[in-house]
Structure 1
């Protein structure tokens, strides 16, 4: 039990670290764009003014100083972006049961606290995925956490997975019976920093992070929701490995059952 608890704590730390790095990456990218654009404009205008020879020497020196300082600020911005860059993905073979067994214990305390029930249904013959394990765990964690936040008074979360051989993909589905997402904002929920919450911290990064993680794997995210009818999020991952789950994990059981 102690070893299992230690492993869960380690996984939680790794997921939290990836979330924080991703959030910093979004923040610095936004700042780089919002600051970089006017800086380039200022430097460009100063260079245009320097092309005129009629300026007094002191004015010319000040214009050169403007160009130099905008270039220095741009270097600082790029250095910050480099420092907050995410590590390169580390792809490895993993089964859907493995990924869920490693992720669900992270949200189990939250589910118990909110009184939310969990149902898990994974087809037996799903091909092994070639994924960055911790990124996928982060995506699943964010989706389940979003579902929990949507149902503070309790409810049900369903996690299912199946192979779609004709499309050469695996679909992992997280569904809740919460209040759903209004149609007018559904198209924006994956935008960085878009959120209906205004009361705390950096909001609006959960689904943006999930979308980026799925894209790294060559997949896509689909969100189906109607106001008052719950939300269904589908993660599509391409099938690369042909080995079946049963061959790799010998039908590994779930640690958390409905």
Structure 2
């Protein structure tokens, strides 16, 4: 009779006496990976009330895994209590995702306003730098300095545009983009930066590479972020590999950025694409670089993955090639 009553309930339900689960339905046994009864409550929950009522805690499966739980203890017969449990891990994850989305929206709005204010003076700097370049004679030693001003100001405009896109992502993904050229152009923007002065760069760009369809400025920001990320990991010395190739089986164009830096610890590897997650100290990082990369790749219908161990980290981006009709 008692067993029939328990099995009629679809949610995980158990009967508790003197701090032990003495009977449970199949849903409860599956939730906690139970093989036999009785089992002490302290083995199943991090904490629980001595009396009746609702409580929130973490459930402990017998294999050692944990989950977020909501539970209620209710009176039953013969000195027993009913224990009804729900696994709310997914709900909590969804709530966390919505909170992050709200935070991203606010950050995107702020970033867009800042980028707009920066963009106008940058346009003036580029205009006057180009006018100055036109006025200088071809043999002038100042040409090199003016070219660097133009190059770095252009980089700032790309970053400012990425901030604008972060707040208001562009929908047009209709350009035919040569990923090899994007890699060359983006590295040329930062090759004079102190991070890359003592870095040995190995180029492994495919001789022939299909075009990808997308938004060039977003793919530029993706590439720039991955290169800068590798440079920061190398801390100014080491080896950087920039690689592209076509994978015919999946019909994707692949970009790989590889460095021989310290690697990414396994415990944080799953978090690196989360917005605002950063390991940089002293407020030096916003935690948005790789989150922006992830968003750009997703909008282009591609995938981004990371392989890492001490002495080697590789970011791999796969983007679908253009299908000619």
TM-score over 0.5 (shorter chain): yes
1:237 is matched with 319
- The alignment status of 1:162 with 2:305, answered yes or no, reads no
Deviations 1:134-157 (A, max 9, x none): 111111111111111111140011
Deviations 1:186-219 (A, max 9, x none): 0110000011123125521111110101111100
Moved more, 95-104 or 135-144: 95-104
Deviations 1:164-192 (A, max 9, x none): 11101011000000000001110110000
The answer to which structure has the higher helix fraction is 1
* CA distance in structure 2 between the aligned counterparts of 1:133 and 1:13, rounded to whole angstroms: 16
- The alignment status of 1:15 with 2:164, answered yes or no, reads no
Look up the SS of the partner of 1:156 in the other structure. strand
Computing the radius of gyration from Cα coordinates, the structure with the larger value is 2
**Length, aligned pairs only:** 182
- The alignment status of 1:216 with 2:299, answered yes or no, reads yes
The answer to which structure has the higher strand fraction is 2
Moved more, 89-98 or 115-124: 89-98
User: In the TM superposition, what are the counterparts of 1:1-40 in structure 2 within 5 Å?
Assistant: 8-9=151-152, 11-21=154-164, 25=166
* CA distance in structure 2 between the aligned counterparts of 1:112 and 1:191, rounded to whole angstroms: 25
Unaligned runs of 5+ in 2: 1-142
Cα drift, residue 230 of structure 1: 1.9
Using CA pairs under 8 Å that are at least 6 residues apart, name the structure with larger relative contact order, 1 or 2. Answer: 1
1:103 is matched with 186
Deviations 1:24-57 (A, max 9, x none): x5xxxxxxxxxxxxxxxxxxxxxxxxxxxxxxxx
The answer as to whether partners of 1:111 and 1:148 remain within 8 angstroms in 2 is no
* CA distance in structure 1 between the aligned counterparts of 2:276 and 2:226, rounded to whole angstroms: 16
Look up the SS of the partner of 2:192 in the other structure. helix
User: In the TM superposition, what are the counterparts of 1:66-105 in structure 2 within 5 Å?
Assistant: 84-105=167-188
Q: Which of structure 1's runs of 4+ aligned residues deviate more than 4 A?
A: 1-7, 111-114
User: In the TM superposition, what are the counterparts of 1:32-71 in structure 2 within 5 Å?
Assistant: none
1:125 is matched with 208
- The alignment status of 1:192 with 2:275, answered yes or no, reads yes
Q: Could you tell me the TM-score, scaled by structure 1's length?
A: 0.64
Look up the SS of the partner of 2:191 in the other structure. helix
The answer as to whether partners of 1:14 and 1:134 remain within 8 angstroms in 2 is no
